[in-house]
Amino acid sequence: MDNAPAYAQCGSVVSVRGGIVDVRFGSRVPPIHSLLRAGKQDTIVIEILSQLDEHCVRGIALTATQGLARGMPVTDTHGPLMVPVGSATLSRMFDVFGNAIDRHPPPVGIRWRSAHHAPPPLVRRSAKAEIFETGIKAIDVLMPLERGGKAGLLGGAGVGKTILLTEMIHNVAGKHQGVSIFCGIGERCREGEELYRDVVAAGVLQSMVMVFGQMNEPPGARFRVAHAALTMAEYFRDDEHRDVLLLVDNIFRFIQAGMEVSGLMGQMPSRMGYQPTMSTELAQLEERIASTDTGAITSIQAVYVPADDFTDPAAVHTFSHLSASIVLSRKRASEGFYPAIDPLKSSSKMATPGIIGRRHYGIAQEIRRTLAQYAELKDIIAMLGLEQLSLEDRKVVARARRLERFLTQPFFTTERFTGIKGKLVGLKDALEGCERILGDEFQDVPERALYMIGRIDEVKKADPQLQ
C-alpha cells in the first residue's frame, strides 16, 4: 500500500474549473450528494453531483475554491450535507453548513440531519383542505391561505413585504403556537441585517430560526440553503408536531442558483437559458412543503417575476406550485392603505364555496365586484366629479371606499413607528365587518372612522360623534 497512489487512500483533485471540481478515487467511489473536503484544514467543501466513470466524480464547491490545485488530496466525509435541528436552533441565525452567524456562541444540544429528504408519502399527507388564519383581514377574507400550502408574495422594494412577513411571524407565534423559519436565498447582507433587527424589535425572534445563503456565496451554497431550511422545518413538523411557517425570500434566486450550477456542470441550457432540470429541482423542493398527520409546513414565498413577464419559465413553474398569490401594490402603499395588498390582482385556490363556505365566498365575491366597479368609475370621477354619477353608482363608490379603509389594519410590528396598537382580527369578525359595510349599515359614517381599525365594533370608538 505504500506505493499506492494518493487517490487510493482518499482522493485527489483531477481538475478545477471555477466552482466545479473533478475528483478521482481508488476502489470506492462515494455516492451522489456526499460531501468532500479539501484544502488547508479541510476548509473547501465539495458536494458530489454526478459520477463520470468508475473512478471519477464531479462536484460543485459550496465554498470558494481559492488555493485548490490539481493533485491535492480530498477527504470523503462519508455523509451528505448535515443541518442542525432541535429547539436549541430557535432564535438563532445559521448559514448553509449550520454555523451560527449571529455572533453568539454555537447552540448546545442540537442534532444533525441530512439536508436531502424525500417528500412525505401520499399516505401520510393530510387530504383535508384547511384554512390557515393569519389574523390579517385582507388576506383571510379575500385570499385565504391553505394550511400546509404555498403562497406567493409578489411585490417590489418598499411596499411593505418585510413588514407583512414579520407580522405573519408574530401572529403565528401567538395564535398558532407555531415556529417560523426564514430562508434567505441570495440575500444581500444589508437585507439580512435589517430583517434581523426588525424581528428582534418586534419581539418574535424567540420562536424563529433564520437561515441565510448570501448573495456573495458560491451558487452551490445558495442552491442548498433552501433544502437546509426545509430540513429544520420538517423536524418541527414531524418530531415536535408543531405548525411551521416557512418564509422564503426569494424563490427565483433558488432557480437562478440552480441555473448557475447547471451551466458550470456543462449541461445544455433549456428555454431562455434555464437549466433543463428546473422543473424537477423546483418540484423536489416544493413537494417537501406539505401538511401531514403530525403537523403542517405552510410556506409564503417571495416571487420575483423577471421583467414582469408572467410567461417566463421560472414564473410559470413557480406559480404551478402555489395555492395563493398575494400581490402588493405600490399605488396602494402611496395612498396609505396598509397592508398594500391589491385585492383585484391577488387570488387563492381556496376561495371556493366547498372549502370556505357559501357565506364567506359570497362576501368575498361581492367585495371584489364592488372594488372592480369603483376602479372603472375612477376615471369618470376624475373628469366629471362624483356628483355626475347616478345614485346607485355613488352608493357603490361609498361602499368601496369604506371597504378599502376597513381592510387596512394596524400591525403589532409597526407599533413603535405609528404609535397605533396592533390588532389581530379573527375571520368571523372580519367577515361580519365586510358584510355590514356591503349592507350600507355605515353609509352615514365618515370614511376616516373605518381607517386603521380592527373589528367593525371599533368604529364608534374611532368617531366620538357616533356615540
Q: Which residues are catalytic?
A: 161, 187-188
Q: CA 100, CA 88: separation in Å to the nearest integer?
A: 11
Residue 427 gets the label, from left (phi > 0), alpha (psi -120 to 50) or beta, of alpha
Q: CA 413, CA 138: separation in Å to the nearest integer?
A: 17
Tell me the CB-side half-sphere exposure of residue 206, using CA atoms within 13 A.
Answer: 5
Burial class (CB in 10 A: 0-12, 13-18, 19+), 215: middle
Q: CA 102, CA 252: separation in Å to the nearest integer?
A: 26
Other Cβ atoms within 10 Å of 78 Cβ, number: 9
- Residue 323 makes CB contacts below 8 A (sequence gap 6+) with 145, 146, 149, 150, 151, 348, 349, 350
Q: CA 459, CA 305: separation in Å to the nearest integer?
A: 39
| Residue type at position 174 | G
Residue 28 gets the label, from left (phi > 0), alpha (psi -120 to 50) or beta, of beta
Q: CA 221, CA 60: separation in Å to the nearest integer?
A: 9
Question: Which residue reads 365618515 in cell numbers?
Answer: 446
Residue 179: name the closest of 53, 88, 267 by CA. Answer: 88
DSSP letters of 423-446? ----HHHHHHHHHHHHTTTTTTS-
Q: Where are the alpha helices (DSSP H) in 203-306?
A: 219-238, 251-264, 278-286
- Residue 441 makes CB contacts below 8 A (sequence gap 6+) with none
Sign of the C-alpha dihedral, residues 368, 369, 372, 373?
Answer: negative
Q: CA 389, CA 386: separation in Å to the nearest integer?
A: 6
